Amino acid sequence: MKGQYLDEQAYAAMLNQDLVLYEVYEIKRPESAGELMHGISIVHPGKVGDEYFMTKGHFHTVLDTAEVYYCLKGQGTMVMETPEGDWSVKELRPGCVLYVPPCWAHRSVNIGQQDLVTFFVYPGNAGHDYGTIEQQGFRKLVVERDGRAQVIDNPRWHAIER
């Protein structure tokens, strides 16, 4: 997660605490197109500076593969963007189905006080491209302002050659 949270000092201070920010439990299936990978993601509540705990986020290696999330518990947002510059931030509430369309990078953010628990399912051949997000970040960040979640521009976002 280095370089993803805006407040680098707060992030560095947290590294000493050996905290777990999120956990993923996946039923492994063969990485082939006909298969479905599926599992549970748990993002714990908390913040790094003003920024809520979140997943690393990724594009799929096979870019045009989609994903479905079903929110089981908690309160969160899914931050998404495309290589072309579109972005979207959608709510995650228990009982909500969230569809991540093909070609959209995705990151879940816990904006609540309890664990954010989601079930996810995606094609077996999708793969995870973490490198692009590691280098350029997401265009939008979710931070707490006056006790509420707010979406802001990521001042550090920059495009890389793909």
Q: Which of 57, 137 has the CB closer to ligand PA5?
A: 57
Query: What residues numbered 25-84 form the site for ligand PA5, per CB under 6 A?
Result: 41, 55-58, 67
Ordered strands of the 76-81 beta sheet: 87-92, 76-81, 105-110
Question: Which of 24/159 has CB closer to ligand PA5?
Answer: 24
Compute the least distance from the CB of residue 1 to ligand PA5, in Å. Answer: 9
Q: Residues binding ligand PA5: what is the number (CB under 6 A)?
A: 12
H or E element that contains 13: helix 8-15
Amino acid code (one letter) for 157:
W
Does 51 bind Ni ion (CB under 5 A)? Our answer is no
**Which span (18-26, 62-70, 74-82, 152-160) binds Ni ion, by CB under 5 A?**
62-70
Question: Both tokens of residue 66?
Answer: 């989609």
Assess 104 for contact with ligand PA5 (CB under 6 A).
no
Closest by Cα among 56, 100, 109 to 81: 100
Question: Which range of residues in 8-16, 70-78, 90-98, 120-128 is near ligand PA5 by CB under 6 A?
Answer: 120-128
Asked if 109 and 54 count as a contact pair (C-beta separation under 8 A), the reply is yes
Residue 136 in contact with ligand PA5, rule: CB under 6 A: no
Closest residue to Ni ion, based on beta-carbon distance: 67
Token pair listed for 19: 């905290």
Pick the closer one to Ni ion by CB: 75 or 118. Answer: 118
DSSP assignment string, 100-146:
E-TT-EEEEEE-SSS-EEEEEEEETT---B-HHHHHH--SEEEEEET
Closer to ligand PA5 by CB, 6 or 60: give it.
Answer: 60
In the complex, the residues that contact Ni ion under the rule CB under 5 A are 67
